[in-house]
């Protein structure tokens, strides 16, 4: 799915939040911290996506339960937004389930923002100018929450992309991501640049797309991740190179992904997924171009 790569890394935060919350309920904070860090590392360094697919529903239930007991906990809400967005985007087995799961992700993301910024509770239906003005009041202290809010909304829009009303919401999401960029462009090793690259390559130039800007964002994302995040190159090929019918760039990026090692601290699982996508895209290159 479109945005799963950039969602994936933040799933570790969900595991950590769940572990800390569980620790607060009865274990020592030290044990909870160690457990959450261990679980986070186990997820991100796992080279078997099927294992994560099988285990993720248990985390969905756990996070749902924790949120029901702590409905105003901003960290849990943000973590829930990201986990439901990830699972709905990558592992849901049909379109309706994808929509349902990413819809819940979006609700959790909105509630996380609303917990600190009361005016965020009224963002639905607001005018774009007022929305951007309010975004400028979000501070770096809440960059995690703003990122979760934007990415969970984006995942839901991707799941409902055949609905033109959903497409019309993309500028609002882009404004949220631009605010994250303003606060810290290096956040999550340049993840926001990857998202903005995708958004600016969704449409051809004749329909208002900005492929030159998309390319700049993709290149910057690769630079900030030092090339270790293989998903960036996959999306660069999938979104920009195919849009511009640049087969040379397309095939070079994908061949780079296939030649790169998957093992990288905090990225192994999603580099495995990137390689799987690279194989499929490269196999269809001649037919596409």
- pLDDT tens per residue, range 186-245: 998 898 999 999 989 887 788 778 999 999 999 999 999 999 999 999 999 999 999 999
| pLDDT score recorded for residue 150 | 93
Q: Is residue 179 part of a domain?
A: no
pLDDT surpassing 70 at residue 18: no
If one compares 71 and 15, the residue with the highest pLDDT of the two is 71
Q: Is residue 94 part of a domain?
A: no
Provide the residue count of the chain.
289
Q: Is residue 54 part of a domain?
A: no
pLDDT surpassing 50 at residue 33: no
Give the predicted TM-score (pTM) of the model: 0.82
Q: Is residue 111 part of a domain?
A: no
The answer to whether 266 and 45 are in contact (CB under 8 A) is yes
Of the candidates 255, 249, 253, the residue with the CA atom closest to the CA atom of residue 289: 249
Domain that holds residue 284: 185-289
Task: State the Cα–Cα distance between residues 67 and 14, nearest whole angstrom.
Answer: 12
If one compares 186 and 267, the residue with the highest pLDDT of the two is 186
Q: State the sign of the Cα–Cα–Cα–Cα dihedral 147, 152, 158, 160.
A: negative
Residue 88: pLDDT band (50, 70, 90) is confident
Minimum mean pLDDT range among 48-52, 126-130, 158-162: 48-52
In the block, residue with structure tokens 């479109």: 2
Region of residue 83 (phi > 0: left; psi between -120 and 50: alpha; otherwise: beta): alpha
Number of domains in the chain: 1
CATH of residue 284's domain is: 1.25.40.920
Q: Is residue 131 part of a domain?
A: no
* Burial class for 86, CB neighbours closer than 10 Å (0-12, 13-18, 19+): buried
Q: Is residue 171 part of a domain?
A: no
Residue 44: pLDDT band (50, 70, 90) is low
| pLDDT score recorded for residue 284 | 97
Task: State the Cα–Cα distance between residues 269 and 235, nearest whole angstrom.
Answer: 16
């Amino acid at each position: 799915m479109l945005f799963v790569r950039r969602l994936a890394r933040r799933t570790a935060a969900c595991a950590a939040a769940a572990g800390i919350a569980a620790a607060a309920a009865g274990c020592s904070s030290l044990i909870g911290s160690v457990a959450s860090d261990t679980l986070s590392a186990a997820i991100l360094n796992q080279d078997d996506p099927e294992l994560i697919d099988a285990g993720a529903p248990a985390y969905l239930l756990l996070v749902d339960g924790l949120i029901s007991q702590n409905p105003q906990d901003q960290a849990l809400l943000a973590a829930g937004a990201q986990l439901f967005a990830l699972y709905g985007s990558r592992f849901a087995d049909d379109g309706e389930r994808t929509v349902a799961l990413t819809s819940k992700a979006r609700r959790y993301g909105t509630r996380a923002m609303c917990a600190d910024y009361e005016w965020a509770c009224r963002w639905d239906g607001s005018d774009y100018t007022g929305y951007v003005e309010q975004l400028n009041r979000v501070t770096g202290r809440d960059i995690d929450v703003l990122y979760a809010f934007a990415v969970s909304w984006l995942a839901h829009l991707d799941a409902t992309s055949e609905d033109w009303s959903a497409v019309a919401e993309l500028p609002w999401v882009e404004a949220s991501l631009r605010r994250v960029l303003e606060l810290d462009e290096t956040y999550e090793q340049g993840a926001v640049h990857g998202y903005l690259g995708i958004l600016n390559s969704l449409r051809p130039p004749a329909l208002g797309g900005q492929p030159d800007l998309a390319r700049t964002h993709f290149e910057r994302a690769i630079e900030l991740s030092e090339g270790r995040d293989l998903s960036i190159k996959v999306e660069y090929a999938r979104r920009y190179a195919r849009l511009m019918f640049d087969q040379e760039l397309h095939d070079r990026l994908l061949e780079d992904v296939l030649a790169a090692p998957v093992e990288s601290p905090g990225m192994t699982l999603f580099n495995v997924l990137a390689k799987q996508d690279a194989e499929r895209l490269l196999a269809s290159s001649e037919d596409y171009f």
